[in-house]
Amino acid sequence: MADQKEDIIETFDEQGNKVSFELVDIVTVDDIEYALLLPIGIEDNNDEELLVMRLKKEGEEFSFEAIEDDDELNKVAQYVEELEDEIDD
């Protein structure tokens, strides 16, 4: 589970370390919501690469799931790129 304060998401990684992300946007692809997250405070994150996670809601609570399927991840990445292209035009 994650804790949301405005656009900052705090959660824990596999080693139990607290990790913070900026919630950039939530997009819907094929009726599934995905969170676009930008890591905060990671020293080796020079590229400022977005992390895409599946958003799972259970009542008032929500959690993030890793996307294991390359086809699903590529479909979401392509959608985000198309959105960026529209914004740039």
Quote the pLDDT of residue 89: 64
Structure tokens at 76: 């979401």
| CA angle at 66 for the pair 64 and 71, rounded to the nearest 5° | 130
Measured distance CA(46)–CA(24) in Å, rounded: 17
User: Residue 69 forms beta bridges with which residues?
Assistant: none
Structure tokens at 48: 């400022």
Local confidence pLDDT in tens for the 89 residues of the chain:
454 446 888 887 788 888 889 999 999 999 999 999 998 876 554 556 888 999 998 888 888 898 999 999 999 999 998 988 887 76
The domain locations on the chain are: 3-88
Measured distance CA(76)–CA(85) in Å, rounded: 14
